[in-house]
Amino acid sequence: MWEDSRYFWVVPCKNYWFHMRKNLFFRHRILLAETDAITPRPAIDQRFTVRCDQCGREYLYKPSEVLRSELEPPESFTPHPLFRDEGSGAHAATARPTTPVSRGDLRS
């Protein structure tokens, strides 16, 4: 039956050209956290950054881009900081801020 299925929150990597070399018709999915088949998408009210585990590029994602996918995780999987407390029902908003840095804050 389906008891052995594992579900994860994922986002598609935006570095399409890098991943296209491996599979032309399938976008690479970046795992964020484990979930189940019926839990609704976490209530995230801000954009957040995710680094791809294969190409290493980091992109900004909207909460609406988070999808559920059934797949097997790699052995070295660690949840995204924004999703680490999902199992306890509390969602920690620990993603890096996405507000622009002012020129006065930059150091040479």
Q: What is the pLDDT of residues 32-68, one digit of tens each?
A: 988 888 989 888 889 999 999 889 999 999 999 999 9
Q: How many domains are contained in the chain?
A: 1
What's the CA gap between 94 and 96, in Å, rounded? Answer: 6
Other residues' Cβ atoms within 10 Å of the Cβ of residue 1: 4
Tell me whether residue 2 is in a domain.
no
Residue at 106 is within a domain: no
Question: Which amino acid, residue 65?
Answer: E
Q: Is 27 part of a structural domain of the chain?
A: yes
pTM attached to this predicted model: 0.68
- Domain-located, residue 13: yes
Residue 50's domain spans which residues? 7-99
Contacts of 99 (CB under 8 A, 6+ apart): none
Would residue 105 count as lying in a domain?
no
**φ, ψ (nearest 5 deg) of residue 91:** -105, 115
